[in-house]
Amino acid sequence: MGVLAAAAFAFIWSTGFVVGRFIHGAAEPNVFLALRFGIAAVLLFAVCAIRRPPMPDARTVGAHLGIGALVNGVYLCLVYIAIADGLPAGIMALFGGWQPVLTVLVVALLTRRAPRVTVVLGIAVSLTGLVLVLGPGMRSGAITGLLLVLAVLAITGLTIGIMLQPRVRTAAMLPSLAWQMTGGALVAVLAALLLGERLPGPSLQLFGALAWSVLGISVVGMALMLHLVRTTSPTTVAIVVLAAPPLAAVQTYLLFGDTLTLLQVAGVVVSLVGVGVARVAEARSALPGRVGPASEADGEDPAGRRLG
């Protein structure tokens, strides 16, 4: 069951980046995300009304809204804006895989402890891989500095949100998901209003993307993420997330014909190996005993994803 859950989450997480590309021409990014999160929240609250799980108090609800605003809203709004402006979905997924490394760096800053040499080496290797992947696009002007800033800010929002998850990890899963979707919806609505985005017209492309995003990613994917966060180690979750970039690259090739050069493929491999080395080295430097994901990366990925 654990292996199946991890494999399913890796696939579902990777599709979130592809959806950002798929909706091009059918809906503007933040409006789409507002619809996605709003519909998912309504469905989840409806299930809560039927199943009647323990509901969080007002303080915990506020924490859920804040975490959802970061993990769903800030993260995915910036991801989808970057993809809409030309950042390839596969490369954005690679940035998403860098979240565990960013978590290590944030923890090092907060604790004022320098990472182990092995961790630093892994980060350096990962950065080298990123340079190999981004090089062709930056030389041609297809990948701009603004797109890279959006990607980094997106991963920063995700990292902060994930690190705040320990505050609410004892809450029931259904209301946790519902309130965090609500937080994401509020950010997406605000972003859509600020950017002057318009409501989309009906289309099969829009309905298909919404159906998968709501049921597949926001409900099933996030439930799997919370399950992994609560039942596995941060290293396990981080390794699962590392499957997203190659999966996203394969999907964008099959759906849109996007390709990477051999040098970029090598860069993806090098970057993911570097992330894996850094994350495993950091996990081994932790205190003896089981450390839950919530205590350090708390996963979704994204110590995990994620959800794109």
What one-character DSSP code corresponds to residue 291?
A: -
Does residue 201 fall inside a structural domain? yes
Q: pLDDT of 77-133, one tens digit each?
A: 999 999 999 998 888 888 877 777 787 788 788 888 877 788 788 878 888 888 888
HEC sequence for 266-289: HHHHHHHHHHHHHHHHHHHCCCCC
Is residue 236 very low, low, confident or very high in pLDDT (cuts 50, 70, 90)?
low
User: What does the pLDDT read at residue 237?
Assistant: 66
Does residue 69 fall inside a structural domain? yes
CA nearest 292: which of 169, 112, 174?
169
60 vs 51: CA distance, rounded Å: 20
CA nearest 263: which of 122, 144, 162, 138?
138
User: What does the pLDDT read at residue 1?
Assistant: 53
Does residue 306 fall inside a structural domain? no
With tokens 């994620």, the residue in question is 306
- Is residue 52 classed exposed, middle or buried when 0-12, 13-18 and 19+ CB atoms within 10 A define those classes? exposed
Residue 27's φ and ψ, nearest 5 degrees, are -160, 150
pLDDT at 204 over 60: yes
User: What does the pLDDT read at residue 272?
Assistant: 80
Domain count, the chain: 1
- Is residue 287 classed exposed, middle or buried when 0-12, 13-18 and 19+ CB atoms within 10 A define those classes? exposed
Does residue 308 fall inside a structural domain? no
Q: Which residues of 104-119 are buried (b: 16+ CB within 10 A; e: fewer)?
A: beebbeeeeeebbeeb
Instruction: Note the maximum CA span of the chain.
Output: 56
Does residue 301 fall inside a structural domain? no
Question: Which range, of 36-50, 97-111, 294-308, averages the lowest pLDDT?
Answer: 294-308
Structure token pair of residue 145: 């500095």
User: What does the pLDDT read at residue 308?
Assistant: 43
With tokens 């696009």, the residue in question is 137
Does residue 266 fall inside a structural domain? yes
Q: pLDDT of 163-189, one tens digit each?
A: 888 788 788 889 999 999 999 999 999
pTM of the complete model beyond 0.85: no
For 188, the domain range is: 2-295
**Length reported for the chain:** 308
Does residue 300 fall inside a structural domain? no
Does residue 238 fall inside a structural domain? yes
Which residues have CB under 8 Å from 279's CB, separation 6+?
A: 100, 101, 104, 122, 234, 235, 238, 239
With tokens 């654990």, the residue in question is 2
pLDDT at 243 over 50: yes
